[in-house]
Amino acid sequence: MSAVPQPPHIIFIMTDDQGFNDIGYHSSDIRTPVLDKLAADGVKLENYYIQPICTPSRSQLITGRYQIHTGLQHSIIRPRQPSCLPFDQVTLPQRLQELGYSTHMVGKWHLGFYKKECLPTRRGFDSYFGSLTGSVNYYTYESCDGPELCGFDLHEGESVAWGHRGKYSTHLYTQRVRRILASHDPHSQPLFIFLSFQAVHTPLQSPREYIYPYRGLGNVARRKYAAMVSAVDEAVRNVTYALRKYGYYQNSVIIFTTDNGGQPVSGGSNWPLRGRKGTYWEGGVRGLGFIHSPLLRRKRRVSKALVHITDWYPTLVGLAGGNESLTEGLDGYNVWEAISEGKESPRLEILHNIDPLYNRARSGSLQKGYGIWDTAVQASIRAGDWKLLTGDPGYGDWIPPQVLPGFPGGWWNLERHSEPRKSVWLFNISGDPYERYDLSEQRPDVVKELLARLVYYNRTAVPVRYPSEDPRADPHLNGGAWVPWVGDEEEDNWDSVYQKKNMDWKRKLKLSKSRSFFRRLNMRIMSNRI
């Protein structure tokens, strides 16, 4: 009787803010030979979607659910907010633990830490080494939430890891992954490692030797950013070398993905896609991604199968030997056969998001939504070839690779803000991936169908979790570090949050009017300079 094959080792690598054009096989100015080779020998995902900012992408990966179903549909979880991944969610690593996996996370968490219950080690990871907030210094591990609110943020399990200052985080995290691989027996138990790099998020920092090859790039931010991408490329080389050295590789699945689009002001590039990080244009939500594995049936190809970040949960649970009952009710689909064998994707639709708290579009209304949907609300959905956006999708220009040194960030805001205000856009993404031809007026029939789909999804949404900041989170009150500050026995009260949000609208309106005035003034000044 033959032995049942062991489920594969899963190495899930996520970079932070790496743009669509920030990898060798999409770009001419950033060199990533290791990533290029892994992607070329695996399957490149060229119809793959993520979320426009950090917390939402991570929450959807870990829960397999859209943000509207976890209450995290607005913005990110900020360091002082008493919020985290909802406790009623069974996470991906918890499912893998149930299936016999040893689970480890290294790197950026950004899913809340106000209670110990929120920490990675309480949400399914056997070990954790990394930062809990959204952005830290790559050498000192200092994280600031405002000019006077700074604290140390590097953690080993549930303790502060003070002893690693001065070590570059990309290197430090890679060393930790190699140590996990060296100390584990690949034949005794399957391994799941979530390597969540803080690179290439700001601040733009890297060792000097990575900058030197890019000395010819005129744009200083792009030069530093490219160096950080090269450091990640080298890190992935070291991880894959360790997989081979310690006997994991032949039974492994390596997944590489970014968490959201790039930020051009900070050196990133999503060219030729429209928009940037924080927007629902393709530049914000269309992701870099590939799978490399000896277990793939059809390798060395480009997949156009529609894949979303929520799909990793059921796909990996399926690879781990779990049956479909473990993933019922999720928003993700098992896309392994679509990726490995080239079959059609089971996914036909993606809800990018519905955010009821985002600034309402002044030009939007229920009337402009044909009485079906209030188009002042920020929302976006993809169905088949079609993509609909309502409300304010965010800054929507096409930003070519930056070549001018010291280009003022404010200049990026000139062109697209001058168009007449709209609140509905429709694109055929298959035929127009760069979103240059709005078909909302030509195809009102499609607009109405997709508005009705937004209504359908909105009926299933849970209330937004976006509480006020808690002064008790201040690192100065907690030994100088960002750590949990609320006792597990304290009850959460979300009701007051919504009341405060609603009462505050007059002050916000006044503030937005003054911001609008200064933006117009700034545009005139910059236009004169140009």
Active site residues: 54, 110
**Which amino acid, 37?**
K
Integer angstrom CA distances of residue 496 from 357, 479, 492 = 15, 29, 10
Q: What's the rounded Cα separation, in Å, for the pair 440 and 123?
A: 43
**Which amino acid, 463?**
P
- Quote the DSSP letter at residue 280: S
Residue 4's contacts (CB-CB under 8 Å, 6 or more residues apart) are none
Helices (H), 31-90: 33-40, 54-63
Integer angstrom CA distances of residue 66 from 49, 92, 218, 350, 465 = 12, 14, 40, 9, 14
Which tokens in the block code for residue 216? 């010819």
Count how many residues are written for the chain.
Answer: 530
Q: How many C-beta neighbours within 10 Å does residue 121 have? A: 15
H or E element, residue 221: helix 220-245
Cα 177 → chain centroid? 21
H or E element, residue 177: helix 169-183
Sign of CA dihedral 273, 275, 200, 181: negative
Query: Which residue shows structure tokens 């939402």?
Result: 56
Cα 464 → chain centroid? 19
- Quote the DSSP letter at residue 213: G
Q: What's the rounded Cα separation, in Å, for the pair 409 and 274?
A: 17
Q: What's the rounded Cα separation, in Å, for the pair 466 and 498?
A: 8
Task: Look at phi and psi of residue 175 and say left if phi exceeds 0, alpha if psi is from -120 to 50, else beta.
Answer: alpha
Nearest to 103 by CA among 115, 121, 85, 88: 121
Integer angstrom CA distances of residue 473 from 75, 478, 480, 513 = 19, 8, 11, 32
Q: What's the rounded Cα separation, in Å, for the pair 458 and 229?
A: 38
Q: What's the rounded Cα separation, in Å, for the pair 89 and 103?
A: 17
Q: What's the rounded Cα separation, in Å, for the pair 35 and 233?
A: 6
Strands 378-383 and 386-390: antiparallel
